[in-house]
Every structure is written in structure tokens, then in C-alpha cells.
Amino acid sequence: MLIIKNLHAEVEDKKILKGIDLTVNAGEIHAIMGPNGSGKSSLASVLAGRESYQVTEGEVLFEGKNLLEMEPETRAREGLFLAFQYPIEIPGVSNINFLKTAIGEIRTYKGLPPMDAKEFLRLTREKQKLVEFDAQLVNRSLNEGFSGGEKKRNEIFQLAMLQPSLSILDETDSGLDIDALRIVAQGVNKLRSDKNAFIIITHYQRLLEYIIPDFVHVLYNGRIVKSGTKELALELEEKGYDWLKEESREQEATTI
Amino acid sequence: MNVLQEQTIPLYGRIVEKYSKLSTTAASQQARQSAFHRFQLLGFPTIKNEDWKYTNITRFLKDEYALEAPSAGAPAELSELLAKAAIPDLDCYGIVLVNGVWDGKIEGGELPKGIELHRVSDALSQPGDLFTNDNWGNLHFAALNAALYTDGLFIRVAANIVIEKPLHIVHVYTSDYNLMVQPRHLWIVDRNAQLSVIESTVSGLSGEVKIWVNNLTEIIVHNDAKLDHVNLQTAATGTRLVQQTIVHQKKQSLYNSYTFTLPGADLVRNDLQARLEEDHTETHLYGLYLTAGDQLVDNHTLVDHQKPHCFSNELYKGVLLERSTGVFNGKVYVHKDAQKTNAFQQNNNLVIGKKATIDSKPELEIFADDVKCSHGSTVGQFSEDALFYLRARGIGEATAKALLINAFAFDVTEKIKFPAVETYINQQISHHIPVNHAG
């Protein structure tokens, strides 16, 4: 589904990603962990197409297509979804109108007929229940005045509505209390299937107690320095990141 | 006086000529004479006049304009223009003025008791002057209008009468040759009466024809009375629209104004003055200007707090596309006597066109010491973060920008109390934001 090869990227001439290799197949959940400033969120931004990031080297194939050549909206229409670490408040755009517009444009892109109002309403109700998203929030302005937890749940609600094939959750767990965390995790678990995939970016291991990843990767200094299974996450929880930092410095030293 | 203008502006000479030939009733003669002298003293405004510093009308005055409107009779494109002005699903009384003249017809059923509508030209033949006297201060065009007007619409709502359905007035301006029209209106909402007026201004001009509309509307809102006043300015290219609205508010009256200016007219200058002549009044002025092409749209407002315990709130928002120019000048004048005044003002602008400009100028003059006044002015561009967020959900750039513009305008559009009008406005806004405008 997603193949990242030797991806290098920079922002304002600062090198952020220094050669990422990652392959994600349908049905898989990958967790990307790492200390602050290691490039986790940058990777998410580059994949979603944020314009402030320049890709300087490498390639990314999404369902066999060159992802990096696509506009952000095209990536979304092709089935890529980024759950934002900091969802934006847009007063004056209602949540529901926003989703209607997004679904409309995605369907047009795919050559599908517009979704009728009844079907849209049914879908909204179903998904809103699935992720336990307050019906009143659905009709409010997009994220305006939402609490941190409500914003994150709205991201998962949007994910449920748009039904992407690849979802990237960028620190969705940060700022969530344990109940909100469980609701978000349950939402993801209900939405996962053998046809879609998730990349979960997180600083802490606790989200991974609820969403069991197939693979765990540790990002440090713009590179994936270690990959493993869910046990790696536990190890990180126990030992912190320092031992990895040491290890990667040693590796770097030997390559030089 | 104004020898230079007389020599350089062809319209000026025509005005002098027209005035000399004007047949007028004795009652209005003196008022016309003093207004004409005022205009002669002021001349046409130039950028040397403080109130016109950012609005240079020289290029519009280079064209010649006739002062005689084509003879009555429905113009060919009338139905098309009326269709443009029609607000779907709005339950209202509807009337149409062509070049400032009402044909006397009313759509939407018979008017209820207590409201009367007349042609100003009919009222002029009656004894006594219809209009109150005014010295016109620095209102160049109002003075000109008061000297030369020939027709307009007179409305009076009798005391204690509530007119439930809004009155939709469609102003159609059309001509085969360059023309200046000067309608003058007077609307009176008597004690404890209520009225809603929705005005639409449309124009149909062929080829290079220009039309200058010099409109003067005086409104008196008496004690405890209420007027909602929506202005939808959707005139076409070739139109130069100067719209002066002077509102006299009496004790405990409420006046709500909603002014929407959309792409089209070359020049729009709105002078809106709320004169709070007695205490405990309430005034809300909302405005939205969406400008495009080479448009020049200028909103000059004055809230004149003359008496104590009055409340005024003003919110104007601007979206400037392409090479258009916007001007906002919001003056709040609090007289020495006007203690316990609450006066708030806000002007926000979204400058989208690379060559678009906005001059925003709040002007507060406060001579009372126990008042609450605030003002704010912002000029900004699209939020890149908001744009990216929408695009990351599959919404194309053009649609995303249209959504953000609608959202920006929302604070103003949501204030309209008629859902049909709000829908109409939102559609008009969306209609004017195609892909190529957004760059």
C-alpha cells in the first residue's frame, strides 16, 4: 500500500528526514515512536503534502502511484488520511457542511455519483455512534470551542466518515485523558480491516495498549533506527529512549 | 465658484444648466436653492477632501452624463434584471423602481393598513415641503441630489403598526446612453411601529454605457420604533453608485442596517449616517463588501452619539479579490452630552487579490467622559493552516478558499434575520468566488 524509499526532507533548509525506508501493507498497523524532535510529525506532514516541507531525495509510492507529485487534496482523494496533532478551528464552516463538501469532492474525483442527503445522514449517524462523537458537535462550527479531546475525537469521526485506505494518526493520544484515549482506540479498532492500514505516531506506549500494532519503529534524528514488534514499545516504555540514542550514535560513529 | 471644475468636468456644466431650467414648487424652492449653493461651494469631491482621500473619482467624472432619464416604459432587459434581484422563498411585498421612478405596482398582495407608499414626485405637488431641511455638511453628492432630485419613494408606517412581511424594493438602473440619476427617498417609521426593508440595486447597461446613481435616502425612526434595513448592492460594471443614507433616530428607537456590496459596479460609495438624536437608542450596522475586478468600494459610516444612554455596534467585513480597492472609514462621534454611551466598532479584511488594497480607518471622537467605546481593524490573508486542513480532507483548493471566504463572511451574514436573504447572500458570495479569483 505504502512504500517509502530513502526519504529525505527539509524545512527552511533544515534537514529533518534523513533517509526513511518503510513499507506498509493493507491490514497492518505500524506504530512510529521516538523522542521529541526526531521527525515523527514531519514524516506525517510530508506524507500529507504540507507545502512548507521540501522533499530533497527519495520516493513514496501509494497504491503504486507517486505520492509526492500529488496535491494534498489528491492524496486525500486517493485514500490517505492524516489525523492532525493540532486540528484547526474554522469558525463559520460547519462540521457537517465540511464533511459533505469533502465527501462530495472525493466522490467526484472517483467518478462516483453524489451521495444523496438521506444516505449522508445515515452514514453520519452510524459513524458518529461508532466513535462516540457527540451529535451536537457534528452541527457546530468546525472544531470551534471544542476541548482538546473533542477535537481529537472529531479527527477520528472524520476518519470514519471518509473511509481512507491509509490513516496516519499524528500524536492523536497527546492531551487525551484515559477515557478519551479508550474511545479513540476503540474507534480505530472498529474501523481497522484487512483492506486498510494505519500508521500511529506516538510519543508514549499507552495508546498501544489499546491499539495493538503489528510493527513498531523508532525514529531518531530523521531515521528509523530500530524496528520490531509490539514488544519493542514495551521495552521503550521501560528503558526510555536514551539507550537507543546511544546505540544510534555509536552506529553513526562506526559508519564514519 | 469651482471655475476649474466647471471647465474640466463636463457634468458640472450640465448640472448648472439643469438647475437653471428646473421647474420647482415654491415649497421646495428654498431648500433646493440652499442645497445647490452648498454643492457649488463643495464642488465634486477630490482626494484633497479628507472624506475622499482614498477614493479618487476623477476617472469616473471624465465621462459625460446626461441628466434626463429615458422616458418611462419597461426596458427590454427588465425581466432579466428582476430575476437577478429576486430572492427565492422570500415572503415579501415587492416593488420596482426603474431609474428611481416607481410604477405604483405592488407584488405579494395588498399592503396592510397603516403603511403608505407614494412617489416623491406626487408628494411634491402637494403644499409644504416633504423633506426636512439639512445643510448637507460635507456631503457633496447629497447636496447635489437635494438640489436636483425629481423622484423617489416615500414610505410611512403609522404609529403602533407592525408590518410583518418585509418590503423588497428593487432599484433597476438602465439606460442606452450615459446617464446620472438622482433618486431621493424619505421613509418614516412612526412611534412604536416596525418595518423591514430589503433593497436590491441592479443595473443593465449595454456596451460602454455608464450610469451614475446619486441616491439619497433619509429615514426617521421615531420613538420606540424599529427598522431593519438590508441593502443588496449587485449593480453591474459601468455603474457608479453613490448611496447616502441618513438615519434620524428618536428616543428608544432601533435601527439595524445590513449592507452587502458584491462585484460589479465600478464605484460604490456608501455614506451611512446614524444620527442618534435622542436618548436610549440602539443601532447595529453590519456590512460586507466582496470586491473584484477594478472595483472601488468605499464605506463611510458615521454614528453620531448626540444624547446619553445610546448603544451602537458596528461590524464591517471585507473580502478583496483581484485588483479591487476597498475603503472603510468608521467614524464614531460622541458628543459631550452623550454620557453612558456604548459604541463598538470592528472592521476585518481579507485581502486575497495580489493587487487588491484596503484602506481601513477607524475614527473615534469622544467628548463625553463616561462612555464605553472600542474599535478594531484587521487586514489579513488566508490562513495557510486552515487551507491545508481542508485540502487534507480532499477538498480542492478553490472550494477550500470559497469555504473560508464564506466562513469569514459568516459573522455578518448570520446577522440577517430573514433566512431566505441569508441563503441568497451566501449563494451570491459563492457565485463570485470562482477558481481564477482566488489567486
User: Are A92 and B410 a contacting pair at CB < 8 A?
Assistant: yes
A143-152, B309-318, B428-437 — most confident range: B309-318
CB neighbour list of residue A184: distance below 8 Å, 6 or more residues apart: A131, A152, A153, A156, A172, A173, A176, A207
- Average pLDDT of chain A is 91
Three-class DSSP category at B2: coil
pLDDT (0 to 100) of residue A242:
81
Average pLDDT, chain B: 93
Angle at A165 between CA A87 and CA A176, to 5 degrees: 35
Is the four-CA dihedral B258, B262, B265, B267 of positive or negative sign? positive
If interface means Cβ-Cβ distance under 8 Å, which residues of chain A face chain B? 48-51, 71-73, 75-77, 82, 84, 87-88, 90-93, 97-98, 101-103, 105-106, 109, 141, 158, 162
* Angstrom distance (rounded) from CA B410 to CA B428: 13
Cell of B227: 427598522
pLDDT digits (tens, 9 = 90+) for A24-65: 999 999 999 988 889 999 999 999 999 999 999 999 999 999
Query: For B389, which residue in chain A has the nearest alpha carbon?
Result: A88
**Quick one: CA dihedral A135, A139, A144, A145, positive or negative?**
negative
Q: List phi, psi (to 5°) of B279.
A: -80, 165
Cα–Cα separations (whole angstroms), residue A108 to A76, B148, B221, B307, B321: 13, 57, 52, 59, 27
| pLDDT given at position B130 | 81
The pLDDT assigned to B27 comes to 67
C-alpha grid cell, residue B281: 437608542
Which candidate, B261, B270, B276, B286, places its Cα nearest to that of B219?
Answer: B276
**A62, A75 in Cβ contact below 8 A?**
yes
pLDDT in tens, B114-162: 999 999 988 877 767 788 778 899 999 999 999 999 999 999 999 999 9
Q: ipTM for the complex?
A: 0.95
Please give the Cα distance from B292 to A163 (Å, whole number): 39
Q: Say if the Cβ atoms of A73 and B397 lie within 8 Å.
A: yes
Can you tell me the distance from the alpha carbon of B154 to that of B432, in angstroms, rounded to the nearest whole number?
Answer: 33
Q: Phi first, then psi: what are they for B183, rounded to 5°?
A: -70, 145
pLDDT tens per residue across span B191-229: 999 999 999 999 988 889 999 999 999 999 999 999 999
Instruction: Note the pLDDT tens digit of each residue in A61-105.
Output: 999 999 999 999 999 999 999 999 999 999 889 999 999 999 999
pLDDT tens string B353-401? 999 999 999 999 999 999 999 999 999 998 999 999 999 999 999 899 9
Q: Residue B291 and residue B240: Cα distance in Å, rounded?
A: 14
Q: Is the pLDDT of residue B181 over 50?
A: yes
pLDDT band at B434 (very low <50, low <70, confident <90, very high): low
**What is residue B437's predicted lDDT score, i.e. its pLDDT?**
42
CB contact under 8 A, A90 and B407: yes
DSSP class of B51: G
Inter-residue contact B319 to B348 (CB < 8 Å)? no
Dump the DSSP string for A190-204: HH--SS-EEEEE-SS
Which residues from chain B sit within 8 angstroms of residue A97, using beta carbons? Answer: 403
Question: Cell 471622537, residue?
Answer: B365
pLDDT of residue B123: 81
The per-residue pLDDT for B439 is 38
- pLDDT number for residue A207: 87
Provide the phi-psi class of B136: left if phi over 0, else alpha when psi is between -120 and 50, else beta.
Answer: left
Q: Identify the residue with better confidence: A154 or B430.
A: A154
State which of A144-158, A209-223, B267-281 shows the largest mean pLDDT: B267-281
Reply yes or no on whether the pLDDT at B91 is more than 70: yes
- What are A208-239's pLDDT values in tens digits? 889 999 999 999 999 999 899 988 888 888 88
Count each helix (H run) and each strand (E run) in chain B, helices first: 10, 20
What the block records as the C-alpha cell of B76 is 427590454
Max Cα–Cα distance, chain A, nearest Å: 63
**pLDDT at A175 (0 to 100):** 80
Count of other CB atoms within 10 angstroms of residue B135: 9
Question: Mutation test of the interface with chain A: which of B319, B390, B414, choosing the one with the most A Cβ atoms within 10 A?
Answer: B390
Phi, psi of B68 (to 5 degrees): -100, 120
Domains, in order of start, for chain A: 2-255 (3.40.50.300)
Which of these, B159, B216, B240, B165, lies nearest to B195 by C-alpha position?
B165
Q: Which of B288, B319, B388, B399 to mutate to test the interface with A (most CBs of A within 10 A)?
A: B388
The pLDDT-based confidence of A255 (bands split at 50, 70, 90) is low
* Residue B317 contacts residue B328 (beta carbons within 8 Å): no
H or E element: which one contains A95? helix A95-109
Contact B290, B297 (CB under 8 A): no
What pLDDT is attached to residue A249? 74
What pLDDT was estimated at residue B52? 96
